[in-house]
Amino acid sequence: MNLDMPTKIINSLGNDIISSYKTSYSKKRFLLTLKDIIEEDVNENETKAELYEYSSRFFNSKKIVNDKNLFVIGLDSSSRAIITPIADIIISAVSISGQGPVELSDWPYLYRDLAYIPINPEPFIYVASDDLNVSDYSNEYIKQFRSLDNEDDLSKIMDYSRLSLESWGIKEPSFALGNYFKRKGKKFVLLLDGPIYLLDNKNDYIKSNLMKNRSNEIEILENQGIPVIGVVKRIERSKILTNVQDFSNILSQCIGNYETLNDSLIIQKMLYSNCYNNYYGKILTTPKIKVRSNGLDKIVEYVLIPPSRYQSINKGRIFRLEYTEKTLDILNNNYSLEPVQILINDSIFKQSNESITIAYSDKRGKMITQILKDLFINTIVGRGAPISYDTLREAEATWIKRKT
């Protein structure tokens, strides 16, 4: 694999765009359309949530344990879209970082000085077009769809590209890095930005299959003794707590009517209700909840890092940790740790209120996609090919920012 392969692929695709305006129209036919995929009915069971462990309290304080033999890596992805008259282009990237923080593996990479270089990487470019001939040089790293009908379809393709790269990141680099550090005697843990997998994929055949593949990749790591935890930062649309019948009495007594509230609001109301008055300086968690749907299940718990006594409410953080029973078993029996202690070791002990490995991977993934997007736009605009108004305005804003 050449050092400059990702940038050469971008340049090659840019040349394909240029060439498409110089050749005669030739309709390309694809076997699969996004509309067919989205509208296919998926037999999905109703999502169910129940307590995984008994607890007489809604919040439990957790012991802070600094385990110096623990090695945590964080995985995150990014995607960006370029709209042109002939094609919609989605460029995605996945990045894996270790504690330090330090970059361990990227795909696509910008340089080879990494702990792990991809062997069999996934396509990182998605192209939606009816009339674009992609050259053989870059075709291996590109997935093609027919032209998209609307912005919602574009968002779905961007989701698919990120999920595919994340599954590859779990299967290949995380697996290799995990085995390497375990041979060194480390307690190795993989943190994912977001859910370990989504359960609500009704009428979306592609996403449903991607989630099942992701579940299989996680199981392969767990069979090697590598635990995997998802760290969910955005919980404003989550309503898991309202589905847990065992919480109904305590929630009603402490905050009143809660059925229409999201999980974030329920937790904040509970935290500042009359039921709790001494939370400063403590890490709090809810009891573990088992959620199941569509043939998959996972355990979730909410983690609260409250503000100090002299900080405002918005300085606190709420996360949802997600993992399987197998991961919980590895952490408890092999590592003598709880899932929340993994997050604490990767955040509070690093002088941060969030996972530093995930934050660094997020930053690198966005940086890689921005660089490749700029390179692609410069390739086609510099040679006179048109792009959409919104794409041009975004590019101009980036150019202006770099000049100032």
Residue 93 DSSP SS3: strand
Taking alpha carbons only, the member of 167, 150, 236, 240 closest to residue 206 is 167
Residue 105 has pLDDT above 60, yes or no: yes
Task: Round to whole Å and give the CA distance between 343 and 326.
Answer: 18
User: Could you tell me which residue, 261 or 54, shows the higher pLDDT?
Assistant: 261
pLDDT for 3: 46
Q: Which range scores top for mean pLDDT: 38-47, 121-130, 299-308? A: 121-130
pLDDT for 36: 41
User: Could you tell me which residue, 202 or 12, shows the higher pLDDT?
Assistant: 12
pLDDT band at 31 (very low <50, low <70, confident <90, very high): very low
pLDDT band at 27 (very low <50, low <70, confident <90, very high): very low
**Which whole number is the average pLDDT over 269-291?**
80
Please name every residue paired with 77 in a beta bridge, in sequence order, or none if there are none. Answer: 94
> Contact 377/82 with Cβ under 8 angstroms?
yes
Q: How many CB atoms lie within 10 A of CB 3?
A: 11
pLDDT band at 277 (very low <50, low <70, confident <90, very high): low
pLDDT for 339: 95
pLDDT for 378: 85
pLDDT (tens digit per residue) in 216-246: 999 999 999 999 999 999 888 888 998 888 8
Please name every residue paired with 304 in a beta bridge, in sequence order, or none if there are none. Answer: 284, 318
- The encoded tokens of residue 26 equal 């030739």
**C-alpha atoms less than 13 angstroms from C-alpha of 179 in its C-beta half-sphere:** 11
pLDDT for 188: 96
Mean pLDDT of the chain: 83
Sign of CA dihedral 240, 242, 246, 247: positive
- The encoded tokens of residue 229 equal 């935890």
Structural element, H or E, at residue 215: helix 205-223
Per cent of the chain over pLDDT 70 is 85
Q: How many residues does this entry show for the chain?
A: 404
Q: Is omega for the bond preceding 108 within 30 degrees of 0, making it cis? A: yes
User: Could you tell me which residue, 58 or 70, shows the higher pLDDT?
Assistant: 70
pLDDT band at 393 (very low <50, low <70, confident <90, very high): confident
pLDDT band at 258 (very low <50, low <70, confident <90, very high): confident
Residue 388 has pLDDT above 90, yes or no: no
**Which whole number is the average pLDDT over 180-200?**
91
Residue 390 has pLDDT above 80, yes or no: no
Q: Is omega for the bond preceding 123 within 30 degrees of 0, making it cis? A: no
pLDDT band at 159 (very low <50, low <70, confident <90, very high): very high
Give the phi and the psi of residue 191 in degrees, each rounded to 5. -105, 130
Taking alpha carbons only, the member of 8, 66, 141, 28 closest to residue 347 is 66
pLDDT (tens digit per residue) in 295-331: 788 999 999 887 655 555 556 789 999 999 999 999 9
pLDDT for 43: 40
Q: How many CB atoms lie within 10 A of CB 281?
A: 9
Residue 26 has pLDDT above 50, yes or no: no
Per cent of the chain over pLDDT 90 is 38
Residue 264 has pLDDT above 80, yes or no: yes
Please calculate the CA angle 360-78-364 and round it to the nearest 5 degrees. 30
**Which whole number is the average pLDDT over 355-373?**
95
**Which whole number is the average pLDDT over 89-94?**
96
> Contact 76/173 with Cβ under 8 angstroms?
no
Residue 114 has pLDDT above 80, yes or no: yes
Q: Tell me how far CA of residue 298 lies from CA of 75, 193, 194, 369, in angstroms.
A: 19, 16, 13, 31
pLDDT for 209: 87
